[in-house]
A and B are shown apart, each in its own frame.
Chain A
Amino acid sequence: MITELGHFALVLAFLVAIVQAIVPLIGAARRWPGWMAVAEPAATTQFLLTAFSFGALTWAFVSSDFSLRLVVLNSHSAKPLIYKISGTWGNHEGSMLLWVLILTLFGAMAAWFGGNLPPTLRARVLAVQSAIAVAFFAFILFTSNPFLRLAVPPFDGQDLNPLLQDPGLAFHPPFLYLGYVGLSMAFSFAVAALIEGRVDAAWARWVRPWTLAAWIFLTIGIALGSWWAYYELGWGGFWFWDPVENASFMPWLFAAALLHSAIVVEKREALKSWTVLLAILAFGFSLIGTFIVRSGIITSVHAFANDPERGIFILMILAVFTGGALTLFAARAQALEAKGVFGMVSRESALVVNNILLAVSAMVVFVGTVWPVVAELAFDRKLSVGPPFFDMAFTPFVIALALILPVGAMLPWKRGNLRRTMLPLWPVLGLSVALGGLAYALRTGDSAAGPLGVLLGVWVLGGAMVDLWRRTGRGAGRMGRLTRLARADWGKAVAHGGLGITIFAICALVAWQEEDIRVAYPGEPFTVGRYDLILHDVTTERGPNYVAEVAEVHVFTNGRELTRLFPEKRNYPVARMPTTEAAIDYRVLRDLYVVVGDRQNDGGWTMRTYIKPFANWIWAGCLIMALGGALSLSDRRFRVAAGARKAPSAGVPAE
């Protein structure tokens, strides 16, 4: 019964979305306040209906209702509760429902907090947002309905893919979707602004928090996925340039570019049409990502649904929205005249360079991702584009970005002077070159990535600190002023510092990792780097829905026992899949990563041991970036804008 209600609520939400996509748009064109006002209650209703529908599906998973096809295919009664819940979105249909839930949530939030927007702009934003929702409701109802029943329900389900039964991955998709879908707000604002023919500082101030929020969620989502790959896949890789990873990385790069160009619109009323274009592209690439993942056109295992019908549907959504928005852009971009005047050397120019590097690097990722398809269709060549290509083609842009970042971040607006800006930065540059040289001298013969990583990391991190310090002005009381700086200043420095940390950590891990592969015999010690390891014993243990072989490994350093590690090899009988569970000793400066493999005929076990320097710093850097974004999001100017709308509502109309 609940299932049917959930299905019905979804259909109702679809109908409400259609109304919300049309009526306010006409109202805004004709200046009919009543028609425009439809948008707000409609957005709230749409969200509540979708939330109910999603709740119904979650309930079916939690209560293991095996009359539902989706639950049978993706759940099992013996699965832990948390994975029953996360199983709701661990499949194509459920994840699309989560997608529209977030889409309608953003729409509703724009309605709730959009009181201080001009009424026509608000009506148009909500209408465009709802048009996107219409497309995705139709997609779910017509091609991917999660509420289909089975005529003969089986006794138990087929279990969720065991690799997905993991806390890191349980919450990875919701964060990614919050990011992808969050960019729909920037898109809706961009399209609404094009219809209005007006982009100004107030518009940018509205777009920026949404983009910032989306970017924060994307950052966390990508970091979670990468961290999961690191500990779950058994050899500690953290990024593979897989099409699905690229699908999330491209919107991230565009969102980062959009964040920066929106600052220029907000502060200087320049780069307007470019910012609008970026907003369209950022969401366009979210849609492309969805298309890549769902259509299976670029084969990757993440692809839940290798289904041409669904692929074509999403391709149509992509064509209509991106194509339509770009056409509108071509027709209306002229209306967005630029105002700000600035010199060649200025913060504005630096942000333009930032945008070029981010956008071009995103396009490089895009070209590399689709090239196998292009080559096969156009040139009849079956080829692969793998990590070596991306490493070579993408990395130079990151290096360039890191090199100009500290300088660009400190250049003054309008007109700057490179020599004066560099003055406080010379010591940082000297320090980073010295430390890079030291790293080179200590580890001669290793990959050049190490010293380069040290240089770039120290330069970016140190630059962010100097930037923050310079903002406190001169004379006494600088420490006090430091704490009173605007949150946006702190956010900028923290986010840039996080980037420096991540760049350093990736380089350090790539350059200085140590690896040992051997057959280990119980009781016989072996040495890896500074550590002595002994395989103590291997026992068989039983989990809720799996059987595991658990190895006990004792780790010594300088004769003292450091820790005991328990790497596992699991077998999930229902899903008929083995997984490896690496045991990791996390430390600040390095991870010790131990994996147990197969039993050998002579009684030994295959063991892999890795020493991974600064591994945690990669994700710590990502979280610091996200924290910087959050600090910036909580800046006073956004809060004041949100609070301002409360004032008029206090007054009672004197009728």
Chain B
Amino acid sequence: MKGLRWICLVLSLAIALPAAAVQPDEVLEDPVLEGRAREISKGLRCLVCRNENIDESNADLARDLRLLVRERLLAGDSDTEVVDFVTDRYGEYVLLKPLTTGANWLLWAAGPLMFLLAAGTAVVFLRGRSRAETPVEAGLSTEERARLQAIMAQDDHTA
């Protein structure tokens, strides 16, 4: 189901032979620091790929970004500082988890708002249903009576 990968592959192939995702030489010695690097990488987009984070991407640019993230961590930056550092250079496009600023609140609030709206509508509807009178079983309408007669007549005809 993952189509985007191949464009990424083709793109990276145009530059150099692909190196697959995180390379052994990139891994930091401190496992805690490396764990933080992996977590941060999963939230950053490989800019030349379509919809892939830099942790999984094979592109050279993704490797550069991975190294940059680790460099900043070694320099003592906190996780947010690293992300801000990358965002300053590449813009918010690089963030796979969109910011909540500006119009983006609409994106984040869409789920809860729609849920409240739907739940409100449903409560009103369910109230109505539970209070509604049980409909009296009416006999056949004139239209239905006519249809029944037509069907009976047809049966007589075919029999």
Q: Is A172 an interface residue (CB 8 A)?
A: yes
A383 touches B158 (CB 8 A): no
CB within 8 A of B24: which of A244, A576, A606? A606
Q: Contacts A356-B115, A356-B119, A375-B103; is A242 near B24 (CB within 8 Å)?
A: no
A229 touches B93 (CB 8 A): no
Determine the distance from Cα of A595 to Cα of B93 in the docked complex, in whole angstroms.
31
- Give min CB distance, A167 to chain B, whole Å: 15
CB within 8 A of B1: which of A228, A270, A356, A386? A228
Interface membership of chain B positions 98-112, coded 1 if the CB is closer than 8 angstroms to chain A and 0 otherwise: 110011100110110
Q: A248 — nearest CB in chain B belongs to which residue? A: B1
The interface-forming segment of A139-147, A297-305, A542-550 is: A297-305
B22 touches A517 (CB 8 A): yes
Determine the distance from Cα of A339 to Cα of B126 in the docked complex, in whole angstroms.
13
B118 touches A226 (CB 8 A): no
- Give min CB distance, B158 to chain A, whole Å: 5
- Give min CB distance, A251 to chain B, whole Å: 14
A606 touches B23 (CB 8 A): yes
Q: A238 — nearest CB in chain B belongs to which residue? A: B1
Determine the distance from Cα of A348 to Cα of B157 in the docked complex, in whole angstroms.
43
Interface membership of chain B positions 1-37, coded 1 if the CB is closer than 8 angstroms to chain A and 0 otherwise: 1111111111001000111111111010000000000
**Residue of B3, B126, B157 ringed by the most chain A CB atoms within 10 A:** B3
Q: Is B122 an interface residue (CB 8 A)?
A: yes
Instruction: Give 22 CB contacts A-B under 8 Å.
Output: A172-B1, A234-B21, A235-B56, A237-B2, A242-B2, A242-B3, A242-B51, A243-B51, A244-B1, A245-B2, A340-B129, A341-B132, A341-B135, A375-B107, A384-B98, A388-B96, A389-B96, A517-B24, A606-B23, A608-B20, A651-B158, A653-B158
Q: Is A161 an interface residue (CB 8 A)?
A: yes
* Residues of chain B lying within 8 A (CB to CB) of residue A163: 3, 5-6
Determine the distance from Cα of A245 to Cα of B3 in the docked complex, in whole angstroms.
9
A353 touches B122 (CB 8 A): yes
Determine the distance from Cα of A628 to Cα of B135 in the docked complex, in whole angstroms.
35
* Residues of chain A lying within 8 A (CB to CB) of residue B111: 360-361, 363-364, 367, 393-394, 396-397
Query: In A333-379, which residues have CB < 8 Å from any B CB?
Result: 338-344, 348-349, 352-353, 356-357, 359-361, 363-364, 367-368, 371, 375, 378-379
Determine the distance from Cα of A222 to Cα of B27 in the docked complex, in whole angstroms.
34
- Give min CB distance, A197 to chain B, whole Å: 11
* Residues of chain B lying within 8 A (CB to CB) of residue A379: 102-103
Determine the distance from Cα of A519 to Cα of B3 in the docked complex, in whole angstroms.
28
Given contacts A352-B125, A393-B108, A519-B25, 13 further A-B contacts (CB under 8 A): A225-B1, A234-B21, A242-B4, A242-B51, A300-B50, A301-B3, A301-B4, A342-B129, A360-B114, A382-B92, A384-B98, A387-B42, A393-B111
A348 touches B129 (CB 8 A): yes
Q: Is A578 an interface residue (CB 8 A)?
A: yes
Q: Is B80 an interface residue (CB 8 A)?
A: no
**Interface residue range, chain B:** 35 or more
B50 touches A367 (CB 8 A): no
CB within 8 A of B122: which of A352, A361, A518? A352
- Give min CB distance, A420 to chain B, whole Å: 18
Determine the distance from Cα of A234 to Cα of B99 in the docked complex, in whole angstroms.
30
- Give min CB distance, B23 to chain A, whole Å: 6
CB within 8 A of B50: which of A239, A301, A348, A519? A301
B107 touches A371 (CB 8 A): yes
Q: Is A4 an interface residue (CB 8 A)?
A: no
Query: In B73-122, which residues have CB < 8 Å from any A CB?
Result: 91-99, 102-104, 107-108, 110-111, 114-115, 118-119, 122
A300 touches B3 (CB 8 A): yes
* Residues of chain A lying within 8 A (CB to CB) of residue B118: 356, 359-360
Q: A245 — nearest CB in chain B belongs to which residue? A: B1
Q: Is A435 an interface residue (CB 8 A)?
A: no
Q: A348 — nearest CB in chain B belongs to which residue? A: B129
**Residue of B94, B97, B125, B158 ringed by the most chain A CB atoms within 10 A:** B97
- Give min CB distance, B24 to chain A, whole Å: 5
Interface membership of chain A positions 389-429, coded 1 if the CB is closer than 8 angstroms to chain B and 0 otherwise: 10011101100000000000000000000000000000000
* Residues of chain B lying within 8 A (CB to CB) of residue A243: 51
Q: B116 — nearest CB in chain A belongs to which residue? A: A360
Q: Is B130 an interface residue (CB 8 A)?
A: yes
Query: In A151-193, which residues have CB < 8 Å from any B CB?
Result: 161, 163, 172
Query: In B117-159, which residues have CB < 8 Å from any A CB?
Result: 118-119, 122, 125-127, 129-130, 132-135, 157-159
A352 touches B97 (CB 8 A): no
CB within 8 A of A344: which of B93, B104, B107, B126? B126
Q: Is A597 an interface residue (CB 8 A)?
A: yes
CB within 8 A of B129: which of A233, A341, A651? A341
* Residues of chain B lying within 8 A (CB to CB) of residue A598: 17, 19-20
- Give min CB distance, B94 to chain A, whole Å: 7
Determine the distance from Cα of A100 to Cα of B50 in the docked complex, in whole angstroms.
29
* Residues of chain A lying within 8 A (CB to CB) of residue B92: 381-384
* Residues of chain B lying within 8 A (CB to CB) of residue A241: 51
A519 touches B103 (CB 8 A): no
Determine the distance from Cα of A299 to Cα of B49 in the docked complex, in whole angstroms.
10
Q: Is A240 an interface residue (CB 8 A)?
A: yes
Q: Is A20 an interface residue (CB 8 A)?
A: no
- Give min CB distance, A87 to chain B, whole Å: 16
CB within 8 A of B98: which of A299, A348, A385, A648? A385
B1 touches A381 (CB 8 A): no
Query: In A633-655, which residues have CB < 8 Å from any B CB?
Result: 648, 651, 653-654
Determine the distance from Cα of A117 to Cα of B1 in the docked complex, in whole angstroms.
39
Determine the distance from Cα of A397 to Cα of B110 in the docked complex, in whole angstroms.
13
A302 touches B103 (CB 8 A): no
Q: Is A577 an interface residue (CB 8 A)?
A: yes
Q: Contacts A342-B129, A368-B107, A608-B20; is A242 near B1 (CB within 8 Å)?
A: yes
- Give min CB distance, B82 to chain A, whole Å: 15
Q: Contacts A360-B115, A386-B97; is A270 near B2 (CB within 8 Å)?
A: no
B13 touches A578 (CB 8 A): yes
Q: Contacts A245-B1, A381-B102; is A364 near B114 (CB within 8 Å)?
A: yes
- Give min CB distance, A407 to chain B, whole Å: 16
- Give min CB distance, A647 to chain B, whole Å: 12
- Give min CB distance, B73 to chain A, whole Å: 17
Determine the distance from Cα of A237 to Cα of B68 in the docked complex, in whole angstroms.
24
B103 touches A597 (CB 8 A): no
Q: Which 7 A-B pairs have the closest CB atoms?
A: A386-B96, A302-B3, A225-B1, A388-B97, A301-B3, A301-B4, A301-B7
Determine the distance from Cα of A394 to Cα of B50 in the docked complex, in whole angstroms.
22
Q: B17 — nearest CB in chain A belongs to which residue? A: A598
B50 touches A229 (CB 8 A): no
Q: Is A286 an interface residue (CB 8 A)?
A: no
B6 touches A577 (CB 8 A): yes
* Residues of chain A lying within 8 A (CB to CB) of residue B134: 341
